[in-house]
Amino acid sequence: MSFRKKILFISGPTSSGKSSLAMRLATQINGEIINADSMQVYKDLRIITARPSIKDHRKIKHHLYGHKLGSKRYNVYDWCNECSQKLNTIVKESKVPIVVGGTGLYFSTLINGIANIPNIPEEFKIESNQQLVKYGWKDFYNKVKKIDKKSCVKINNNDSQRLKHIWEVVKYTNIPLSSWQENSIYNFIKNYKYKLILLLPNREELYKKCNNRFKNMIENGAVEEVENLKSKNYDDSLPIMKAHGVPEIIKYISGKISLEDATLRTQQATRNYIKRQFTWWNGSKIKANQVFYDFPSNIQTDKIKI
């Protein structure tokens, strides 16, 4: 089968082994890897976001990893634009693009398109965060629901990022997000075919892996990495400041909690995130071509249909 104008997607929850599977497949099908993880785009954090190693980069060409400063807001629209450009470049070089990551929204937006909404100015993003902090999730949700009910009923409980975005769009454009979505959709990959591989290993085993992974991060310099991030005095509302482990380690650095407590809190936050990832994929309208309920180390690549 020809790989011309074809994309291979690999997704699944945190610690499921997506990157290792991508590396194995890339060597077999002449592929290049594109990041689809919303935190691995930031240059400031390598250890705590589990970015691929320098050795992996030397072996297989990687794209959209660590290419943005944490001082910048980076959203799904930014990623889709950059990803579509990389797809075109890789295909022109007769390589296979392999898009890898756990941010389901990136995949759904790239595949289904996005409302062609104007860029939201920074001051509206800061104000939306202030509103959320001031009123709390429940009251802020009710306030936003009054101005865009259609959008609010579509989001999951505690999805603060999407809730703030709904508020920002209405306040900046005076048009509800739901109206933008109904009337102006921009497509990114309409000329491509794709295959989606989804990894959904045993959840309890995933929890153990993510617990051990964060311990390894601590041993390999995660605290020092967050100390360096903290010294840059970024606004707390920036996405990078919400990466798993960052708020907890900052509390440890500030003397508010112990390192053990920071570790336990991060492990719990990551487990909660894994639950949400399972829920997202189970309810997603994007259907995987193949689903594996095991870790890649136990999967023979000849069983994967490309």
Kindly list the distances between the CA atom of residue 58 and the CA atoms of 79, 208, 296, in Å, as whole numbers in the listed order: 23, 30, 21
Q: Are residues 292 and 163 in the same domain?
A: no
Residue 276's CB is within 10 A of a number of other CB atoms, namely: 15
Domain boundary pick from 185, 200, 234: 185
Angle of helix 76-92 relative to helix 104-112, nearest 10 degrees? Answer: 70
In 3D space, the residue among 86, 88, 95 whose CA is nearest the CA of residue 30 turns out to be 95
Q: What is the rounded CA–CA span in Å between residue 57 and residue 193?
A: 26
pLDDT band at residue 114 using 50, 70 and 90 as cut-offs: confident
Q: Are residues 51 and 161 in the same domain?
A: no
Residue 291, domain CATH: 3.40.50.300
Q: Are residues 200 and 56 in the same domain?
A: yes
Total of domains in the chain: 2
pLDDT band at residue 157 using 50, 70 and 90 as cut-offs: low
Domain for residue 16, yes or no? yes
Q: Are residues 107 and 200 in the same domain?
A: yes
Strand partners, 31: 96
What pTM value is reported for the model? 0.83
Mean pLDDT of the region 193-206: 96
In 3D space, the residue among 158, 76, 64, 159 whose CA is nearest the CA of residue 117 turns out to be 76
Residue 172, domain CATH: 1.10.20.140
Q: Which helix (H) or strand (E) holds 148?
A: none
Q: Are residues 81 and 204 in the same domain?
A: yes
Average pLDDT, the chain: 93
Per-residue pLDDT tens over the stretch 165-183 = 999 999 999 999 989 888 7
Domain for residue 1, yes or no? no
Domain boundary pick from 134, 153, 185: 185
Per-residue pLDDT tens over the stretch 262-300 = 999 999 999 999 999 999 999 898 999 999 999 999 988
Per-residue pLDDT tens over the stretch 41-75 = 999 999 999 999 999 999 999 999 999 999 998 98
Q: Which residue shows structure tokens 């390598």?
A: 46
Q: Are residues 51 and 129 in the same domain?
A: no
Q: Are residues 84 and 221 in the same domain?
A: yes
Q: Are residues 56 and 103 in the same domain?
A: yes
Give residue 157's domain range: 120-185
